[in-house]
Amino acid sequence: MTGVRIEHTAGLTGDELREVRALLDEAFEGDFGDEDFEHALGGMHVLVRDAAGTLVAHGSVVQRRVVHGGRALRTGYVEAVAVRAGSRRRGLGGQVMAELEGIIARAYVLGALSASEDGAGLYLGRGWAVWPGRVGALSPDGPVRLPDEEGSTYVWVPPGGIRLDPDGRFDFDWRDGDVL
């Protein structure tokens, strides 16, 4: 029923990027701004199309740095995971995540994402865990704590990967808009 394509942002055409943006606008019911879209660019995308060629699911992973335990960790940050309303509950979100996790396992020390309440079940069911420690960012004015992101920041460590200190703090690199 579906075709999966994995492509870097640089390999997507303008039409494909507009198609991704339209899917995200629809899936997030208009609550997906320009900065949110910008955050999803510059990395690897998973695009899932139905038999008619319609884009029905998307997700991307971009590189970020997370300072934890005195180290800057190369982190695959998952962005813009969405499934078209009429195609939900068919495993497409899991299919997108499986591809993104494969990319993370091959290219990054760990994966991270910020989940909505609606999306949390997908990630928990795949072995992602809520980060139990403090969450912050390295802002232009220095480190700042992001207490509103605590409880919605999820991490995934590839099998055999790094050990994280659950009492430690995660400080993400700074970016415009929502930091996480």
Quote the pLDDT of residue 2.
Answer: 65
Please tell me what DSSP assigns to residue 9.
G
CA distance 24 to 19: 9
Residue 129 DSSP SS3: strand
**Of 59, 52, 51, nearest in space to 23 by CA:** 59
Whether 37 is in a domain gets the answer yes
Whether 28 is in a domain gets the answer yes
> Among positive and negative, which fits the CA dihedral 42, 44, 106, 101?
positive
Residues in a beta bridge with 44: 8, 61
Q: What is the pLDDT of residues 43-55, one digit of tens each?
A: 999 999 999 999 9
**If residue 41 lies in a helix (H) or strand (E), which one and from where to where?**
none
Quote the pLDDT of residue 42.
Answer: 98
Confidence of residue 175 (pLDDT cuts 50, 70, 90): very high
The whole-chain average pLDDT of the chain stands at: 95
Quote the pLDDT of residue 117.
Answer: 87
Whether 179 is in a domain gets the answer no
Whether 178 is in a domain gets the answer no
Domain that holds residue 133: 3-173
CA distance 145 to 122: 27
Report the CATH number at residue 156. Answer: 3.40.630.30
Residue whose token pair is 């009492």:
167
Q: What is the pLDDT of residues 92-127, one digit of tens each?
A: 999 999 999 999 999 999 999 999 888 899 999 999
143 φ, ψ (degrees, to nearest 5): -65, 135
Answer whether residue 1 shows pLDDT above 80. Answer: no
Tell me how many domains the chain contains. Answer: 1
Q: What is the pLDDT of residues 156-173, one digit of tens each?
A: 999 999 999 999 999 999
Residues in a beta bridge with 114: 153
Quote the pLDDT of residue 30.
Answer: 87
Whether 180 is in a domain gets the answer no
Q: What is the pLDDT of residues 2-32, one digit of tens each?
A: 699 999 999 999 999 999 999 999 999 989 9
